[in-house]
Copies of this chain bind each other. A is one copy, B any other.
């Protein structure tokens, strides 16, 4: 079994085979959210705060934090957002940037063992990010593309994932600390996108013995009723071994599909979380179709 352990100052979360699926909340990301971008640039983090609490309340066990705003001081903003969110909740964080200086600034203020999001198969990126991951004993998301772009051939993507895992080992990072993202393309643009991911996830688990994650929302880009497509995709990928996803737990269709899939993979013991979350309306707390109660320990603001 491969367990990827992440932690905050006071709490551990394990991503692993034979464990409940780990939802990594994707909302704290100004990409495509112009209001959030403007607020963060102006030093207003109230929406970051609200998004953090809402996602943990909806069942996110890890939160992704991204501060990629054009012409802003990304390292400073990312560090500020991380400090703030760590005061607000005890879930471990995923530090998300394509700028190495921003990753460094985020790691510098982080308390615990974070997930670094991400490294690709590009040699230059590998040699800048992996030493950072190794030095801080972090875990890392490995995206299966390289200098040549994103291949439509799943075997090429598998080979890139293998290259990253091997290179990580050269840097002293165990395969259990590499979480591979097989890359999810929009199904509306590429009809094979789902089958590619299902096959890749099976091989990544069976042959490379690594945990997996993905940016799930991308699969339903451009489609109507898209949250049902995203939730169904996650359940199907889980049936092939996907162990985590960077996703939006605020959409009930998505988090409920994940909760049902945990029941069906046998990871929700005695269906206890499902039964608790789906109680009849006359019982207290039943209006919330959520996730494991144990993931909802939100600390008061420091």
Which A positions have Cβ atoms within 8 angstroms of B? Answer: 187-188, 191-195, 198, 219, 223-225, 228-229, 232-233, 235-240, 256-257, 260-261, 263-266, 269-271, 274-275, 278-280, 289
User: Which residues of B have CB within 8 Å of A195?
Assistant: 265-266
Known: A236-B264, A260-B232, A264-B232. A270 touches B191 (CB 8 A): yes
B271, A223: Cβ atoms under 8 Å? yes
Q: Is there an interface contact between A265 and B228, defined as CB atoms closer than 8 Å? A: no
**Cβ-closest chain B residue relative to A186:** B271
Complex Cα spacing A187 to B266, Å: 8
**A59–B179 alpha-carbon span in the complex (Å):** 40
Sampled A-B contacts (18; CB under 8 Å): A188-B271, A191-B266, A195-B265, A223-B271, A223-B274, A223-B275, A223-B278, A224-B280, A228-B260, A229-B260, A229-B274, A232-B261, A236-B236, A236-B239, A236-B261, A236-B265, A237-B239, A239-B239
**CB proximity of A17 to chain B, nearest CB, Å:** 12
Q: Are B266 and A192 in contact (CB under 8 A)?
A: yes
A257 to B260, CA, bound (A): 12
For residue A256, which residue of chain B has the nearest CB?
B228
Question: B264–A233 contact, CB under 8 A?
Answer: yes
Given contacts A225-B256, A236-B261, 14 further A-B contacts (CB under 8 A): A188-B271, A191-B266, A191-B269, A194-B264, A219-B264, A223-B275, A224-B279, A228-B260, A229-B263, A232-B263, A232-B264, A235-B236, A236-B239, A239-B240
